[in-house]
Structure 1
Amino acid sequence: MRRDTARFRSPALPFIALAVSGLAGAATLPREAQQGQLVIGRAAPGSRVTVGTREARVDAVGRFVFGVERDAPETLTVTVLLPNGRTETHRMAVTQRTYKIERVDGLPQHTVTPDPELARRIADEQARVAEARRRDDDRDDYAHGFARPAHGRISGVYGSQRIDNGVPKAPHYGLDIAVPTGTPVKSPADGVVTFVANDLVLTGGTVLIDHGHGLTSSFLHLSRIDVKSGDRVKRGDVFAAAGATGRASGPHVHWGFNWFDVRLDPALLPAP
């Protein structure tokens, strides 16, 4: 089945779909998920869980999480090696989505078509962010739900193909909330700040908050940052202010969400 992301909105149910029964064996998984969704499951403690070619952390109570990529195929294979040596293979159906095309004009042109020197700087900055997303803490901050970091008009959605100043670029991986510069930005869940930068070329003021098990929230284009790397934040804490720094056409909060390097849709996360 294919769904139009302009109309389809999922409540908290997909995230807690581990409660769905009907799959034989020790591991519990949802029967289906959609592209861009965060999935949580449970297996016997001590199990090893592999999603495609990626291994997911299994905590002391057998809980594990993984993300479904934007362009994931119609079936996703999850392999569970149980402590007794038995292997289970689960095939989860993946709902295919239809993504919007979004045209964004008025961006600083040097950020859309950078010269070689600026392109090297951008690549270095992106490598630093990617390294921060490799963190894999055994914390369950993610398990208590996520609140919107700010409230306003949704000006950009996950997965949409971006045409920036008339130039086709990578898809938009996040949720954009249009708010005035200086609007407080709140942490959507508990976590640890793992990356802070004030002046990245594309994303301007940038903060990453790690929620455990490889899950991170990213906030871009910030006008002010009130935290430093290593700080512990609680859901609802103000840690920054919205802005339009970096490659942005106007002030907004960009909220991205990752499972390691797999980019997910913040709109599909459950409320607290």
Structure 2
Amino acid sequence: MIPSRRGLVLGAGATVLSSPALSRQRPEDLVLSGRLIQGGFVMGRTWPRAMIFVNGEALTTASARGVFIIGFDRDAAPYVQLEARFRNRRAHRTLSIVSGAFPSSRINGLPPSTVEPTDPALLERIQQEIALKTEGFASRADADDFRAGFIWPLDRYRVTSRWGSQRILNGTPARPHYGIDLAAPAGSPIRAPADGLVTFARPGMHFEGGLTLIDHGQGLITAYLHQSRIDVLPTQRIRRGDVIGAVGMTGRATGPHLCWRMKWRDRNCDPSLMVAQSATETGYPYA
């Protein structure tokens, strides 16, 4: 049965394909929840500190609670092999990933320097900022702050650009948009959607304007762009609901809004899919 294009919420063992050779594994050894769609994610509960393999590659380690997360990029393959290993124990699932629907969007009236910059000094500055952002995104906090799910970072907003859309900027095709744009009045408070560690906080970035990055554990990092004010500092621990800054239109923006982004390691994910999702407790014997 092929899942609907919307994707789905995954319950314990409900939407995975099992290998007959591994059919003797206990269902409670690998309990999953999440959204099996391009840009989505899976949270899991397994043995504490188990190694988590994705398509045969060791990518993360379950927390002391046995909780882990993996993300699916915009171009994720139709099937993903997921395996947990702890000592001589193994638990395996084959996940079927639904294709996303990514429309095109056009934005005109942007300054040329924010679309196709040519000035050597500006290009050098952009490269320096890329290095700073790369360091912030490289954080791998030993935590599972994502486990309770996320809230929206704004109290009131209007979605003006959905995640994954193909961007055409000033008539020029650009990279897909790896954020969801939330329009709101300038100065509106931005709240942390989940607990985490601030890994980057800097105003005046060329493209992003005021930018904050938060590590929610295991390389799951959210980004907050175009802020008019930043209220946190790098290395600061924050709690869900804390104000981290204010909506603005700094950087490459034509109006006040928050561009909300998420990465799991090097994979771009849709942060809106994390709202109200949490690691299931069903059948988990180790908590």
Report the AA paired with residue 155 of structure 1.
Answer: T
CA 1:9–1:254 in structure 2 vs 1: closer, same or farther (change >3 Å)?
A: farther
Match of 2:164 in 1: 159
Give yes or no for the alignment of 1:198 onto 2:206: no
Over the residues paired in the alignment, what is the CA RMSD in angstroms? Answer: 2.3
The correspondence for 1:131, drawn from 132, 135, 138, is 135
Runs of 5+ unmatched residues, structure 2? 278-287
Match of 2:187 in 1: 182
Match of 1:146 in 2: 150
Cα separation, 1, equivalents of 2:13 and 2:240: 25
Alignment of 1:31-42 (within 5 A): 33-42=36-45
Runs of 5+ unmatched residues, structure 1? none
Q: Secondary structure at the match of 2:175?
A: coil
Q: What is the percent sequence identity of the aligned residues? A: 38
Report the AA paired with residue 49 of structure 1.
Answer: I
Structure 1 position 73, deviation (Å): 1.1
Cα separation, 2, equivalents of 1:191 and 1:251: 25
Aligned length: 264
Give yes or no for the alignment of 1:232 onto 2:240: no
Cα separation, 2, equivalents of 1:99 and 1:177: 17
Q: Secondary structure at the match of 1:97?
A: coil
Cα pair 2:34 2:41 within 8 Å, conserved: no
State the TM-score, normalized to the length of structure 2: 0.84
Match of 1:219 in 2: 224
Cα separation, 1, equivalents of 2:35 and 2:248: 37
Report the AA paired with residue 199 of structure 2.
Answer: T
Report the AA paired with residue 202 of structure 1.
Answer: F
The correspondence for 1:60, drawn from 60, 64, 71, is 64
Match of 2:100 in 1: 97
Cα pair 1:41 1:64 within 8 Å, conserved: yes
Cα separation, 1, equivalents of 2:208 and 2:195: 23
Cα separation, 2, equivalents of 1:154 and 1:255: 11
Cα pair 1:202 1:246 within 8 Å, conserved: yes
Structure 1 position 127, deviation (Å): 2.4
Cα separation, 1, equivalents of 2:15 and 2:49: 21
Q: Secondary structure at the match of 2:152?
A: coil
Structure 1 position 89, deviation (Å): 4.2
Structure 1 position 244, deviation (Å): 0.7
Cα separation, 2, equivalents of 1:194 and 1:38: 22
Cα pair 2:152 2:275 within 8 Å, conserved: no
State the TM-score, normalized to the length of structure 1: 0.89
Alignment of 1:64-83 (within 5 A): 64-83=68-87
Deviation track 1:35-68 (CA, whole Å, cap 9, x = no partner) reads 1112111222343211133512211232211101
CA 1:170–1:64 in structure 2 vs 1: closer, same or farther (change >3 Å)?
A: same
Report the AA paired with residue 80 of structure 2.
Answer: L
Cα separation, 2, equivalents of 1:98 and 1:20: 23
Cα pair 1:185 1:242 within 8 Å, conserved: yes
Give yes or no for the alignment of 1:243 onto 2:226: no
Deviation track 1:46-95 (CA, whole Å, cap 9, x = no partner) reads 432111335122112322111011101111112333311x5454321010
